[in-house]
Structure 1
């Protein structure tokens, strides 16, 4: 099987993520090429939208390495080649041309594809409601992340926790059904600022092949009474409509602050968030809520009870291999020569990813200033990097000073045991 053909189809699917027949064809090619694990994510998205799709069910069984297909006798493989199976599936589903007019042009599909480029052919009458596009896309951008966990340096413990909580059950639907594992959940990422919590959330979405919606407090709060709660409801409706979806709530301490410290208007917003996390008005299956905060001790306790943001993961400053990878990333487009990444990484312990980016910027300024003074352009060297490391100090120290008090005097529940262990290791006690 040609990798070029598969890559072209993958690009087409990325451009048109809701084209299920195209996604099914890509998954068939991946399975035929022996790349079953890659196909599982695509088939899972098809089944999330069309649970009764027989072709997708058969393809999921093949991608998982065999087994009995629903509706077939045990031990009897599906009949025909992949092409014949696809043809049978196409025959069993409504013809794609049903929406086309006599000219053979599918105007509905054309409007869907080029709606952002050309205006619609027909305008609605005054007072006629907008068609239900679903999922409140007018307010929230639904993205398709292109990064995966392989792009995240270090964070081994965090990746293991994510695999157990989200990724493993999604990749193994048979085991998920056997153990009764629901495709819902919440995970709270906390730690010093600039350590990659947002990037990690995008990587989870990319790893799952899921939609990604990022929310900040400015997307929710509105001066009019009731509007903030409505915005929050629309957000969750959007995530439910695009399941499987990773819903990322950034700075959750601002949106879900302790209600005892809030005015009544903000308390109702927190109450609405609790309701949406419970999925009272709509099922949250397939909606993975990842929240991030630098101050977990300010988050309302009700948000962290079982069934909501019930799992907590500490995201620490990058370790030495991760620091070297981050430095290499930020130097990739700059003129460098003779830089020992290992030595620079060793000199930047406890630096956050944002600190390392600033360090590279500072080193570039040194080299640029010398180039201006001498009139000769020179590369960024090891001396520039080490000088920048002496000037740029880690920004995480202030956070750990605050976290130390919490770990020592407010950890009766054991919620910060991992933080206490890290502080003890660093001898910040």
Structure 2
């Protein structure tokens, strides 16, 4: 039968959970009633609040069997004195274990889940694998998904894809897989999209590397990041390792003011020199708007030695891009062919902006009139009047390079394009 005093004190403790003397008194009664497991719960709460409480330690030792009296004590009418008024027992002799020095580890094992441990060091999570530092993707894109760019696809196939696909012919003609490919051209023309399509054609994983993935404020960390990226690519082979904005990661060392970033370029060179041997199955691609700012050592044979100019989309590509961006929107009677003719010299990003602006015009008109309507050709033409080609500044810089810094002929394709545009 339930002891009425214990029941009453239990109710009182629930009403005043921070009352330490009351909880100690209840624990003592529970121990006397041979209900040590229940007492341990209350004593664990007290020790969590007052770890140095001698009375709580002594009662805990009794509850765990280290000092339980042989005969139950009579119920006490007076509450136990506060912990700070309890006299500290004399220090036990050396070699003996007093009531206040019982084995806490053994106590926690006996308690099980009754009282959680007061402190943890995190060692139970040390075996958990760390989160991946970089995302390795799988691409479903193919070159057929890239609209237009016929000449780019031909050169890409001849210089990069065909030797990789036809191993016997490659060996017959002694075609080396050593080296990588550098895509360059105006911003917003789909170099990243093209790199993903290459990974899809090869059936390879795709690891996209940006400036933030490499550069670090701490000395030596950037070099470590480059090394780790190549190690991830090797472990995921076949893998396309794509460095976006390569001119920022591999800037000309002669233009650097400090030595910290030079180490990054040196580490990148060291890792690239492994292409074709320890980097078997790792295909290195780079993309940049300004190849003339890339360190020349990165473009030597065996490294990023093949370059491919990715120009603004031709008419067929512009039709495909416009159709893609309008496909999921409510449109009617849009003459995509005419829009493609009117947008000569626009980048893919510019075309996406035109579609977005036309949708915005139709949306605002629907809000103002209260009648939801479709996106029309008039909206597309109005957007076209507001959106101008964004590659103008790049064209001016490229013109100076093609005219005055093309002694080696590496920018002949660029010079030819500029002459067609009347900029040569």
TM-score of the superposed pair, with normalisation by structure 2 = 0.68
Secondary structure of 1:337's match? coil
Aligned partner of 1:340 among 317, 335, 340: 335
Moved over 4 A (4+): 125-131
Q: Given the superposition, is the C-alpha separation of residues 278 and 378 from structure 1 closer, same or farther in structure 2, using an over 3 Å criterion?
A: same
1:376-424 CA-to-partner distances (Å, cap 9, x unmatched) read 1111111111111111001011210111111111111111110100000
Aligned partner of 2:365 among 350, 370, 387: 370
Ranges in structure 2 where 5+ consecutive residues have no aligned partner: 1-121
1:93-152 CA-to-partner distances (Å, cap 9, x unmatched) read xxxxxxxxxxxxxxxxxxxxxxxxxxxxxxxx9599979x9xx98322111101110100
Q: Say whether residues 1:291 and 2:289 are aligned partners.
A: no
* Shift in Å, 1:283: 1.4
* Shift in Å, 1:280: 8.1
Whole-angstrom CA distance in 2 between matches of 1:220 and 1:423: 34
Question: Over alpha carbons, which structure has the higher Rg?
Answer: 2
Aligned partner of 1:220 among 214, 221, 225: 214
Whole-angstrom CA distance in 2 between matches of 1:280 and 1:337: 51
* Shift in Å, 1:374: 1.7
Secondary structure of 2:260's match? helix
After the TM superposition, which of the residue ranges 393-402 and 368-377 deviates more from structure 2? 368-377
* Shift in Å, 1:281: 11
After the TM superposition, which of the residue ranges 312-321 and 236-245 deviates more from structure 2? 236-245
Q: Given the superposition, is the C-alpha separation of residues 280 and 160 from structure 1 closer, same or farther in structure 2, using an over 3 Å criterion?
A: closer
Alignment match, 2:232 = 238
TM-score of the superposed pair, with normalisation by structure 1 = 0.67
Q: Given the superposition, is the C-alpha separation of residues 282 and 182 from structure 1 closer, same or farther in structure 2, using an over 3 Å criterion?
A: closer
1:36-90 CA-to-partner distances (Å, cap 9, x unmatched) read xxxxxxxxxxxxxxxxxxxxxxxxxxxxxxxxxxxxxxxxxxxxxxxxxxxxxxx
Report how many residues are paired.
302
Whole-angstrom CA distance in 2 between matches of 1:241 and 1:424: 45
Alignment match, 2:310 = 315
1:18-417 matched pairs, under 5 angstroms: 138-262=132-256, 263-279=258-274, 283-417=278-412
Alignment match, 1:79 = none
CA RMSD of aligned residues (A): 2.2
Q: Given the superposition, is the C-alpha separation of residues 178 and 282 from structure 1 closer, same or farther in structure 2, using an over 3 Å criterion?
A: closer
Whole-angstrom CA distance in 2 between matches of 1:269 and 1:130: 32
Whole-angstrom CA distance in 2 between matches of 1:392 and 1:280: 43
